[in-house]
Amino acid sequence: MASTTSANAASAAMHLVDYADLGAIKQVPTRNGFGEGLIEAGRRDEHVIAICADLSESTRMEGFKKAFPKRYIEIGVAEQMLVAMAAGLAATGKVPFIASYAMFNPGRSWEQVRTTMALNQTNVKIAGAHAGVSVGPDGATHQAVEDVAIMRVIPKMTVVVPCDSVQTKKATLAVAARWGPAYLRFARAESAVVTTEETPFELGVAQTFREGGDVAIVACGILVYNALVAADELAKDGIECRVVNNHTIKPMDEPAIVAAARDCGAVVTVEEHQVQGGMGSRVAEILAAQHPAPIEFIGMHDRFGQSGTPQELTEEYGMGVASIRAAVLRALGRKRARNGR
Amino acid sequence: MDSLSPEALRDLQLHANDVRQGIIRSLLAAGSGHPGGSLDMADIFTALYFHLMRHDPTNPDRPDRDRLLLSCGHIAPVRYAAMACAGYFPVEELLTLRRFGTRLQGHPERVSLPGLETTSGPLGEGLAQGTGMALGAKMDGADWRVYVVTSDGEHQCGLHWEAMMTAGKFKLDNLTCIVDRNVIQIDGSTEDVMPLEPFADKYRAFNWEVFECDGHDIAAFVDAVEKAKQVKGKPQVVIAHTVMGKGVSFMEGDYLWHGKPPKKDEAEQALRELSEARELIGAGR
């Protein structure tokens, strides 16, 4: 796979796997990383507890339940209760992780999240499983593609969308260790593992996974992989993209976003979420105020999902590699028109 | 605990009268707020702060304090008045209610004023948080108790029933829910808006122990809570039958006083009535 020396240097500095080698790349659901991270968080801090709303296997809380049965609480199908009760437990010094599908928590429980977690300032961590259309055959009712918008609008909330299972484990440990209400979003489907144990991770610090100066692709979640593949393909045509893994939606790494726009002159945002109100919208807010630049948005364009395979749905809603390539070319064209070239 | 002596009861009645006067003064100063439910819970908040609870106004974060959660946050004036009378903050601060920069927010905010335990106002959330606290105490082997004051109207919220189910499941005998059963909500009688009866049976069906009392008979309320504390293996509810606006003749039983503050002349009349009542309590010595 063609890529420049500088692109490879960025990848090496981030200790990424050789994601161009399709045979070597592992496919693991990001939720697995949450399950592993939660057990490790439980080992590190006895105050960490887990509360689940009847989805312990699919949210991957099962491992914690086995490891720490006295610190695991099952409350059944009651997502508002999940949040408000966790706020009460947090008031006694616990660090509750609460898990359900993102569609139900925070989808159903938003007001409890706002009042009892954020306004009340309690140390509760939401694990939003099965986010995005990559949920697949379950269909639109179970595909949360609005959750980032409703979480990032809440003051004092941390919002994290890690890019693969390895990073999801690190993100789980990071939100456990940092005091404050947090939302961690992950997915159901198997997805490419691009980071390694050695890849650094810090909340609020975006990561340059690939260097390039023509267009910046700012991505989050499992679509970071598609962004990397698109960038490598474009490099064959002489277009070099910077790929930023923008895992922390709130607080967003504003200097990294501004630097990407300044250095590249055009931006493509990529997320498995409505383009209204999501990660890309935050990027646009930052750039409109600090460094206006052409932006193209990859994500759900005001549509609900439907049943299908993750691959079919990713293509249908314009989040596949070809769609990202096309968006980069549009962004590049707008940049050149703007620069009078 | 022994039942109340006549002297102790008289002292609590005097405190409750002070609390009611504090409510009227703060609402007059605020120019908005909820007098009806605030007045009708004055006797109960007085009993909790001046007799029943383990707490320390000079150390609101004392780890082994009993937790008092106000779920129906709109009756914050009664809690603020009771806290001021108990020594949490100066009584004069009640006059800052709902004003810019005040610690006494229109609906209670925990981070604003020490001793509040939760931020509340959106209805139906208090018991859920109290359930979490009570379970946390159980997990830690702590002996403090959780009291959650609720309105009857907020029993129409689904979350409250999720909490009732959960508290029953975990047999939280360190949790007592207190219901302000004044049968009134904003749009009228609870039984017209969305009937709650048979109310006590609903709690029993959720594996709760039920006590009922006259919410203005302080001795009866204290007795009910003391009995509730003896219950093992079950959460308890004290359904306190109250009269909205209790203590001010022209507000009593009138749902229009749910969310309307008294005007100056109305407040003066209310304070006059309460002062006269205070004289009678004092004379009963």
Among candidate residues A162, A192, A222, the one where a domain is terminated: A192
The reply to whether A15 and A50 lie within a common domain is no
Q: In the structure, what pLDDT confidence band is assigned to residue A23 with cuts at 50, 70 and 90?
A: confident
Q: CB–CB of A302/A274 below 8 Å?
A: yes
- Asked if residue A34 and residue A165 are part of one domain, the reply reads yes
Domain count across chain A: 2
* Closest CA of chain B from A59, distance in Å: 21
Mean pLDDT of chain B: 96
Let me know whether A50 and A186 are in one domain: yes
Is residue B110 classed exposed, middle or buried when 0-12, 13-18 and 19+ CB atoms within 10 A define those classes?
Answer: buried
Nearest to A120 among B119, B142, B166 (CB): B119
The parent domain of residue A65 ranges over: 27-192
Q: Which residue of A has its CA nearest to B169?
A: A75
What's the CATH number where A162 sits? 3.40.50.970
Report the pLDDT averaged over residues A11-20: 91
Tell how strand A207-210 and strand A190-192 pair up. Answer: unpaired
What local confidence, expressed as pLDDT, does residue A2 receive?
41
Tell whether B168 lies on the interface with A, counting CB pairs under 8 A.
no
Same domain, A33 and A160: yes
On the question of pLDDT at B284 being above 70, the answer is no
**CB < 8 Å to A70, chain B:** 139
Mean residue pLDDT of chain A comes to 96
**Cα A8 to Cα A14: distance, rounded to the nearest angstrom:** 10
Assess whether A264 and A226 both reside in one domain: yes
With an 8 Å Cβ cutoff, are A112 and B111 in contact? Answer: no
DSSP string of A303-335? ----SS-HHHHHHHTT-SHHHHHHHHHHHHHHH
In chain B, what residues touch A78 (CB-CB under 8 Å)? 162, 165-166
Q: Which domain CATH number covers A216?
A: 3.40.50.920
Q: Does the annotation mark A79 as catalytic?
A: yes
With cut-offs at 50, 70 and 90, classify the pLDDT of residue B285: low
Q: For chain B, where are the E strands, in sequence order?
A: 67-70, 146-151, 175-181, 184-185, 188-189, 209-214, 236-241
Segment A37-80, tens digit of pLDDT: 999 999 999 999 999 999 999 999 999 999 999 999 999 999 99
The verdict on A121 touching B (C-beta cutoff 8 Å) is yes
Name all domains of chain B by residue range, CATH numbers in brackets.
Answer: 6-283 (3.40.50.970)
Cβ contact A88–B136 (<8 Å): yes
* Dist CA B16 CA A261 (whole Å): 64
CB pairs A-B closer than 8 Å: 95
A165 and A241 share a domain?
Answer: no
**Which pLDDT score, from 0 to 100, does residue B52 have?**
98
Q: Which residue of A has its CA nearest to B116?
A: A120
| Residues A151 and A241 occupy one common structural domain | no
Contact A89 B165 (CB under 8 A): no
Domain finish residue from A154, A176, A192: A192
- The ipTM is 0.94
Is the same domain home to A9 and A131? no
A195 alpha-carbon distance from chain centroid: 14
Q: What is the pLDDT of residues A248-264, one digit of tens each?
A: 999 999 999 999 999 99
pLDDT of B1 strictly over 70 = no
Q: What is the mean pLDDT of residues A298-303?
A: 98
Contact B35, B8 (CB under 8 A): no
Q: Does one domain contain both A160 and A258?
A: no
* Cβ–Cβ below 8 Å for A94 and B139: yes
What is the structure's pLDDT at A6?
62
- Distance between CA atoms of residues A297 and A305, nearest Å: 17
pLDDT of res. A237: 96
User: What pLDDT does residue A4 have?
Assistant: 54
A272 in the same domain as A243: yes
Which of A182, A215, A243, A288 is CA-nearest to residue A20?
Answer: A243
Are residues A285 and A321 part of one domain? Answer: yes
**CB within 8 Å: A92 and B122:** no
What value does the mean pLDDT take over residues A146-160?
98
Looking at the structure, tell me whether residues A181 and A91 fall in a common domain: yes
Q: What is the mean pLDDT of residues A201-208?
A: 98
Report the alpha-carbon distance of residue A315 to residue A323 in Å, rounded.
8
- Beta carbons of B129 and A78 less than 8 Å apart: no
Using 50, 70 and 90 to split pLDDT, how confident is the model at A22? Answer: confident
B44 contacts chain A (CB < 8 A) = no
The residue in chain B having the minimum alpha-carbon distance to the alpha carbon of residue A76 is B166
Distance between CA B111 and CA B101 in Å, rounded?
13
Residue where a domain stops, chosen among A192, A224, A253:
A192
Inter-chain residue contact B119 with A119, CB threshold 8 Å: yes
Both tokens of residue B123? 């209805």
Separation in Å, CA of A81 to nearest CA in chain B: 6
